[in-house]
Structure 1
Amino acid sequence: MQRTVDDEDLVAEARNRRRLKPNRWRRSLRRVVPLTLITLTLVVIGVLVRVEDYTALERLRTIVFDEYQNLSPRAFDPDAPVRIIAIDEESLRRVGQWPWPRSQIATMVDRLTDLGAAAIGLDIIFAEPDRMSPDNIARLMPEGPERDRVAAALQGVPRGDDMLAVSLQRAPSVVGVLLEADSGQQPSSDRGFSDPKAGYAFAGDPPHDFLPNYGQIKGPLPALAQAAVGLGALNWLPGTDQIVRTVPLMFHAGDGVFMPGLAAETLRVAQGETGFVIRSSNASGQTAFGAETGINAIKIGAFVVPTTRNGSVLMHYTPHEDARHISAWRVLDGDVKPEEIAGRIILVGATATGLFDLQATPIDVAIPGIEINAQLIEQIVAGVWLERPDWADGMEIIVFVLLALLFGLVAAVLAPQTAAVVGVTTIAVVFGASYWAFTREGIFIDPSFPSLASGITLFAMTAWVAVRERADRRWVRHAFSRYVSSDVVENLADDPARLTLGGEMRPMTILFTDIRGFTTIGETMDAEALTAYLNAFLTEMTGVILAHRGTIDKYMGDAIMAFWNAPLDDFAHAAHACETALSMLDALAAFNASSDRDFPVTAIGIGLNTGVCCVGNLGADQRFDYSVIGDDVNVASRLESQTKTYGVPILVGPRTAEQARPAGYVFALVDNVRVKGKTAPIEVFALIGGPNHPPSEALEIAGEAVDALATAAEVGDTTAMNDALETLDALGSTMLDTVVAIYRSRYQRLMRSEIGDIAATD
């Protein structure tokens, strides 16, 4: 059939329509392919970063681990078979300063043995001879007959070290040793008396390269080491932030010698066992596929303890419990009931703060190191494990990959807002599952890396989609702008008035302070030292102002200007400013007393004034500051400078004193002063105390007397002035001495004037 021209036109039109019709598949492909490539690139980068396991990732992991511990600490069992004999502050007060004579330690060990302790672990090294032994006591005396008589009297008195050796020998005792890096001064094999007491058996890969490695053992005296049933290392391996999260059960001391930790050795001795069994990767029943992944567990008698790859136990702490402690003085005084000791594992160690055996844990800023060992034994005996399995790293990588792919798909098919909701919900589920595994199964799987890395992937995807859609909309607007007119809509900020120049009048209290003699100080210091000094001073003072609801207006060299009742309402602004001023003096005293900074002794003056001021954005259109101006601001500045004249650290204006006095602040009327820029004089008060800074009785009486002086001087009443001066003379020196000196001079002038008037009359 022959087609007409009209038919050909219809066919061409149909073809053009098909060509112009949007291809949805092609459009989706243009969106999905870039997203897929970006997702896969980010996945590869994420996997490589996780395999390297950078320090930042480790820190994130420890933050989550610590938070889990704080949210779900292990419960303390009051019947746990572990007790700490605490060398605490009370014991030091009763028995004497540390170290105690070895005879005292021997007495303690004997009493614990007689009370039926299952094992006694001493968190003490005994590396030096007893300083209180008879021969040492005689040697400390000067040569002469007295020394000879003392030496003769001490003949036959048992040495403390010998007494302790006998006590250790009859007790199930463990003494501490310290492992040190090989210094090259002594062959690592020359250990002698410090050789471990326990035997070892290995299963799987040799543990030498997995355990914490040291080269030397610093042990107790030979006689004590030989007498003890066990020797245990006292070393800690805290994280880079000095928090103890894992405790090693075993150490490698070089040359194939292994040394157990104090807790592990004490638990062995308590069970009467002769050794340990270390199970590593590729042991029977362990699937490591030939890879040397580390230690899996250490067997201590009846207890098989799962460990990290270096033979450490991941600690699940309880909060500090006083019930775990028994003061050492009670043992020495025989004030301990048998049931408190019998059958228990006893650890003896320092808990007094001054003995410096404090460690940080995820749930305690500082606890005695001996308590960590006690908690480790409790955890082992109770069978409450906290594990990070070998497969944890692989699991975290798999979770990340799955989440990243999921989020890439979500970003491709859903709106950015919906994708964000899906992402947050999914990450919350991951954290919830990790926390459930921690609390219910004792397994720590880190959710931070999978969540953070996949969250970055989701953000990148949604950002790319948003940018792409915005570009598409711009193209559409540009294309159709040739045909239709577009309306431009400007979105204003929530409160545009805040970004314009101007202010408001409101009652405020203003503070000025600066350093006395700063110019002289600056002449004695170079620029670098002066900068460090000024920064340290301003930091201290700024912290006090901000802690008391003040607003810093500006720094002017060594001076600070601050105010209250703006931008936030503060109806007690005068009282808060007074409290700030008094606290600044306290902070200055601490600043001057600081021994770790070689700064000059610093004095300051503070001026406070209350009044109605203009506060707001002041400046130019290009740049402005939030500040305050007004006549009362100038008065506060003048009052600060007048502190030098009157020799007091804090001067306040009349309205400040009036508003703060009902809140308990104590003032002394110093003078009626015509400050610079003012025509009429104003009352000036010295701030001498407050509710948290009560003045001494003498200072309070002095303040009242100075009040009377100022009032009497105003009317020229020399009799009242004399009475007030006599009262002040009886008090002695106070912070108001300069004010008193000023009024004494005025009194003398008035007296001379009265005498002159009388003489003229005569």
Structure 2
Amino acid sequence: MKQWFSKWVGWVRVIALMGLLFGLVIRIGDPHPLATLRNASFDLYHQSKPRDLTPMPVAIVDVDDRSIEEIGQWPWPRSYIADLVTRATAQGAVAIGFDIIFSEPDRLSPAQIAEDNPDMPGDLATRLAQLPDNDTKLAQAFAGARVIVGQTSVRNVAGNRAEKRDMADAAHALIGPDPMPYLMKFPDIVQNLPALEANAAGRGMFATRPDADGVYRRVPLVMSVQGQIRLGLTPELLRVATGGGPFAVRTNDAGVEGVVLARQLIPTARDGTVWPYLTPSAQSRYVSAADLLRDRVPDGRLAGHLVLIGTSAIGLEDFRATPLGVAMAGVEIHAQVLENIMAQTLLIRPNYTIAIELVTTLVLCLLVIIFAPALSARLLISSSVLLLAGYVAVSYYLFYDKRILLDPSFPVVAVTTAVMLISTVNYLREERKRREIRSAFGQYVSPDLVDQLSRNQGSLTLGGESRQLTLLFSDVRGFTAIAEEFRDDPEALTGLMNRFLTILSNAIMEQKGTIDKFMGDAVMAFWNAPLDNHDHPRAACRAALKMIADVESFNKERLRAQKRKRVGQKRQRSEKRQPWVSVHKINVGIGINTGQCVVGNMGSDTRFDYTALGDPVNVASRLEGQSRYYGAAIILGQATAREVMNDFAVMELDVIRVVGKEVPETIYALLGDETLRQDPRFQTLWAVNNEMLAAYRSRSWDKAEDLLAEVSTSLGALDISLQEYLDMYATRIADLRATPPDAGWDGVFSSTRK
């Protein structure tokens, strides 16, 4: 039972499943970070394809900056507002909605002016008091038209008003369960003057709330105000314009489904809100209030239109952040909602959408959890990317073609987290295998040492001697990916590494080197001990070049064998797979350094190794690690380079402080043997590279950048790839140009990576 669980279920899958369930619970709670990420995704959709602007019978009479400049400062006398209503009705407006509230008496009414100016002559004050009140004029204008007054909310029941009035009831019907638990709730409202409310054909709320990031993405179509169900301003305007009948709220077990208005169902989210599908702000929607008051509006401009009266003047601050990434006048957002309702172009996010998203996330994550442990790292990543790209493509298609909002963010985050978790566990497992390989090969010693010990058994004692050594460290790049391919066949991995290490060992021993130890896929070797070798720097370089050449031949041989295997399997399906065949190319990095070391038998009385110790050993190891960052297969320390640069193609790379050392080290790339050293093209490369480094260290950034391009050309002429080296210096030059170093900068690079 335990073996079955380990093979087919495993702790990796159990942990991933527990994490998945936890993530689904978090999504149901919908914390702010998830909601913000989801909303940002919808904003990107919205910005990539805003709604097309099409002519609609909706217009805005706008108190804009030009109107303020021409008519006078705001607020205007209510008689001007009455004139706007009268003129818009005369133009043929079907109904008029106000995105403005008139909650206080007009202080510009004639009687109020007389009261506010006690020094006014008595006869003038009496005559002013006898003139019609501005609010009365506005109420009379309302009575002669279809006007919907706007109402807004206050923070609490008490508000900040001296008087609280009950609001008029709104006739409606309920289809399904009670919607009140789901609706946005406003405990109280600010109403217009009683005379205005009494003469209005309808009353609509223009209160709404932004999302946590301050963006207005949703507008409540229906809401709870003082415990009553009320319509927003735009649906109330449409209700009055289409006859003024009652509306209905349809609900299901998930919440509000929609509002039935003007004999059509307007779908909403579960809380009664809708997602407007916006166009960029369009001047074609606007009619300046000044133009309407001064009879400059063409006849018929407002005929058959639903008209909203609001403000966009800068000083009145009625602008709202929108999903399009730009602020828009609040009255235009109302106008666009009205256009969406009339043209049926609202964005759709039904109340059951979260269930679809949860099920989709569950299915995608289960696919990853089931198959990921059996896939290679490359196949896992590529298949996950394709899976997620497919889901995001479906989500965007639903928005683009159907206007349906399906969250693309949470499933992507959940699946990515699952892949990272499983990949991390797989990586740790392969690292454990690598340590086991290092431990197994660490029991062996070099043939030269065995030969010496057989002649002098008395040397099997602890201790060492000081010698000038040249040390070589090599390691395989991307060993985890190679091990991942053989996860089900460890014997094949062992066979592959045995063949590979044999190739490296042969190259070292041909040059009379001593193999200190194998550490999994890594090799440590040195020259001039235990056997004397006065040419040890050159011997190490010859061995390194042969190692690189032999590994390249080994890769080609494996590729040919892979092709032969495939042909053979077509003929004999039962043929056993060759354990050493792999599709992964093996790349080796090598570091070489020369210096004074202590070499001898090191360890305990019961277990010891013949090895070398000293600072040059550590530097050689660090140089091997740097090879991956500079793109050079072989990197030499400065002591080795000084000895061999007249006989080998050696190019300076940098002056660095390797990890763990304070003294800088000049490092070099070993590119080839004496034949390449004598090639005129290499001579050109060597000279240009030295000039580039000199310009870089003298802070001549432009010159260094130009010379770096010449270095790239010279490398291309020799068919040598050092792209990482070129990219590194290009990045450094750009960074130093942008942020110049201080006066004490010496051009030394301090490496933080081994």
Short-chain TM bin: 0.5 to 0.7
Count of residues paired in the alignment: 492
Distance 2:41 2:742 in 1: 49
Q: Deviations over 1:557-601 (max 9, x none)?
A: xxxxxxxx9964699x9xx99xxxxxxxxxxxxxxxxxxxxxxxx
- Of residues 251, 261, 264 in structure 1, which corresponds to 2:235? 264
After the TM superposition, which residues 133-532 of structure 1 pair with which residues of structure 2 at under 5 Å, given as runs?
A: 133-143=109-119, 146-184=120-158, 191-192=165-166, 194-196=167-169, 198-255=170-227, 257-281=228-252, 288=253, 293-483=254-444, 485-486=517-518, 487-488=523-524, 489=590, 490-492=624-626, 493-495=628-630, 497=654, 499-500=656-657, 504-506=697-699
CA distance change for structure 1 residues 621 and 427 in 2, over 3 Å: closer, same or farther? closer
What secondary structure does 1:376 align onto?
Answer: helix
State the SS of the aligned residue for 1:494.
helix
> Which amino acid is the alignment partner of residue 377 of structure 2?
P
Match of 1:659 in 2: none
CA 222–471 in structure 1, closer or farther in 2 if over 3 Å, else same: same
CA contact (8 A) 1:180 1:215 kept: yes
1:130-150 CA deviation, whole Å, 9 max, x = no partner? 11100121122243xx43132
Letter paired with 1:83 = A
Counterpart position of 1:725: none
Which segments of 5 or more consecutive residues in structure 2 lack a partner in the other structure? 446-516, 525-589, 591-623, 631-652, 658-663, 667-695, 703-729
- 1:33–1:622: structure 2 CA closer, same or farther, 3 Å change rule? closer
Find 2:106's aligned residue among 114, 130, 133.
130
Q: 1:264 to 1:73 in 2, by over 3 A?
A: same
Q: Is the 8 A contact 1:505 1:613 kept in 2?
A: no
One-letter code aligned to 1:158: P
Give the C-alpha shift of residue 428 in structure 1.
1.0
Q: Structure 1 counterpart of 2:106, which letter? A: D
* Distance in 2 between residues matched to 1:229 and 1:275, nearest whole Å: 13
> Deviation digits for residues 440-486 of structure 1, max 9, x if unmatched?
12211112111111111111111111110121122123123324642
Query: Superposition pairs for residues 666-685 of structure 1, below 5 Å?
Result: none
What is the CA–CA distance in structure 2 between the aligned matches of 1:88 and 1:34, rounded to whole Å? 66
Asked if residue 71 in structure 1 is aligned to residue 206 in structure 2, the reply is no
Question: Could you tell me how far 1:277 is from its partner in structure 2?
Answer: 0.8
Moved over 6 A (4+): 25-28, 185-190, 612-615, 618-623
Q: Deviations over 1:248-291 (max 9, x none)?
A: 11221224x2322111111111112222111111xxxxxx4xxx
2:23, 2:380 → 1: CA distance? 20
1:357·1:369 contact (CA, 8 Å) conserved in 2?
yes
Counterpart secondary structure, 2:92: coil
* Cα 1:432–1:338 shift into 2, 3 Å: same
Shift of 1:72: 1.6
Relative to 1, partners in 2 of residues 1:322 and 1:405: Cα closer, same or farther, differing over 3 Å?
same
- 1:60 and 2:195 correspond: no
Percentage identity across paired residues of the two chains: 32
SS at match of 2:260: strand
Query: Is the Cα–Cα contact under 8 Å of residues 303 and 381 in structure 1 kept in the other structure?
Result: no
Query: Which deviations, in whole Å up to 9, do the C-alpha atoms of 1:33-89 show, x marking residues without a partner?
Result: 233222222222222222222221111111111111111211111x21111111110
* Distance in 2 between residues matched to 1:322 and 1:498, nearest whole Å: 63
**Do the aligned partners of residues 251 and 34 (structure 1) sit closer, same or farther apart at CA in structure 2, a change above 3 Å counting?**
closer
Q: Which amino acid aligns with 2:32?
A: T
Q: 107-116 or 308-317: which moved more?
A: 308-317
RMSD across aligned positions (CA): 3.2
Q: Secondary structure at the match of 2:186?
A: coil
Instruction: Tell me by how many angstroms 1:506 deviates.
Output: 3.5
Q: Would you say the 8 A contact 2:111–2:130 is kept in 1?
A: no
Q: Contact 2:234–2:335 (CA<8 Å) still a contact in 1?
A: yes
Distance 1:67 1:566 in 2: 31
Cα distance change, pair 613–132 in 1 and its aligned pair in 2 (3 A): closer
Give the Cα–Cα distance (whole angstroms) in 1 for the partners of residues 155 and 32 of structure 2.
Answer: 24
For 1:230-251, what per-residue CA distance to the aligned partner results, in whole angstroms no more than 9, with x for missing partners? 1111212111111111101122
Structure 1: gaps (5+ residues): 1-24, 282-287, 510-564, 578-609, 624-762
Asked if 1 retains the 8 angstrom alpha-carbon contact of 2:114 and 2:129, the reply is: no
Q: For the residues of structure 2 that align with 1:498 and 1:299, how far apart are their CA atoms?
A: 76
* SS of the residue 1:423 aligns to: helix
1:237 to 1:158, Cα distance in 2 relative to 1, 3 A? same
Contact 2:111–2:131 (8 Å) recurs in 1: no
Give the deviation of 1:295 after TM superposition.
0.9
Alignment match, 1:524: none
Report the CA distance shift for 1:465/1:125 in structure 2 as closer, same or farther (over 3 A). same
- The answer on whether the counterparts of 1:505 and 1:615 sit within 8 Å (CA) in structure 2 is no
The residue type equivalent to 1:340 in the other structure is R
TM-score, structure 1 normalization: 0.60
